[in-house]
Structure 1
Amino acid sequence: MKTRQKDRHNPPPEDPWNEVGPRLWMGGHIRVGADGEEPVVVGREFDLVLSLYQREGHGPAPGVEHHFAEMPDGPLTEAQLADVERFVGLAVAAVRAGRTTLVRCHAGQNRSGLVVAQALVELGLGVPAAIERVRQRRSPGALSNQLFVQYLESGLPTARLLAGLGS
């Protein structure tokens, strides 16, 4: 399954991950370093890691709670949108319980941005403010996938129902 769109013109951020909200972090499996793209490996820095992309050897360390759901950086199916909603619920519950949470994808911009922005909405921000927060704290190129922005603006339950009509 192709999970990344090659037409994105935003380079990966320099930071491996950034705190977007209290105890809520967003990151990727790669970052831009002095010599180009560098791998990002998660150890025990977080209590919960939610991965929307996976690469062997990138962690987290054994014993760290980790959930994985593969999804593309493109149109999502009803089931994939349900996974996004599930990840949002896990992230919100963890943050409310005082647990540090990392949501990550390949570069830490779109798929992770979708989950983190929706988590911020459920934690009290409006959609425009959540999108802006993700872009300010992670990268100006975050949420460049306009379809993901539309999912946020319409609401994930509505987007999931509409995706189900097309299947």
Structure 2
Amino acid sequence: MKTRQRNPDVPEPDEPWSEISPGLWMGGHYWTDGTGRLQPAVAGDEFDLVISLFTRTGHGPHPAVQHLITELPDGPLTAGQIHSIQELARTAAHALRDGRTVLVRCHSGYNRSGLVTAQSLIELGYTSDAAIRLIRQRRSPRALNNETFEQYLTTGLHVAHLLSGLDTLG
């Protein structure tokens, strides 16, 4: 499965991860340092829970850290994939309520991680617009540049789940 859409107009972020709200971090597996060189973002034990929507060997986290992996495409999702996003967001929100730190990451930390992070914020009481705005303010104006993901959030993942499930009926 191809998980990432290439967009040459969107450069890699200039930091491995960003704190979106207290304890909730969003990032990727790669970032660009001050010299313009691509660097690996390797999670160690600085987070209590790491949710990876893209994986690469050697990028952590430490074996003692809870690590949930659900590889997803950076494009239209199936009903099952949307359900996975909902479950991951509920897990992240529960961890945050328990005072744990959470990193949600994908390749660059813009779209797939943005979708789960935004839905986690919605689970915590944010509106979809406020969650998207906060992510773009704290991570990057380029975050959630996948219009389909933004539409999922503004429509509501529960509605997107139902609508995408219609394709399987018949």
Corresponding residue of 2:16: 16
Tell me how far apart the structure 1 counterparts of residues 138 and 2 of structure 2 sit (CA, whole Å).
28
Deviations, residues 51-92 of structure 1 (Å, cap 9, x unaligned): 000001100011100000010000001111111001101100
Tell me how far apart the structure 2 counterparts of residues 132 and 79 of structure 1 sit (CA, whole Å).
27
3-state DSSP class of the match of 2:27? strand
Corresponding residue of 1:3: 3
Corresponding residue of 2:51: 50
Deviations, residues 78-128 of structure 1 (Å, cap 9, x unaligned): 111111001101100000000000000000000000011111112121111
- Unpaired runs of at least 5, structure 2: none
Letter in 2 for 1:19: E
Identity %: 54
Letter in 1 for 2:3: T
Deviation at 1:165, TM superposition (A): 0.8
Corresponding residue of 1:157: 158
Aligned length: 167
Corresponding residue of 2:111: 110
Tell me how far apart the structure 2 counterparts of residues 78 and 112 of structure 1 sit (CA, whole Å).
18
Moved more, 138-147 or 115-124: 115-124
Deviation at 1:6, TM superposition (A): 1.1
3-state DSSP class of the match of 2:25? strand
Corresponding residue of 1:166: 167
Q: TM-score, normalised by structure 2?
A: 0.95
Tell me how far apart the structure 1 counterparts of residues 46 and 52 of structure 2 sit (CA, whole Å).
15
Match runs of 1:86-101 below 5 Å: 86-101=87-102
Deviation at 1:14, TM superposition (A): 0.8
Match runs of 1:120-135 below 5 Å: 120-135=121-136
- Unpaired runs of at least 5, structure 1: none
Q: RMSD of the alignment, in Å?
A: 0.9
3-state DSSP class of the match of 2:19? strand
Corresponding residue of 1:139: 140
Deviations, residues 36-64 of structure 1 (Å, cap 9, x unaligned): 21111000010000000000110001110
Q: TM-score, normalised by structure 1?
A: 0.97
Give structure 1 regions of 4+ aligned residues with deviation exceeding 3 angstroms: none
Letter in 1 for 2:112: R
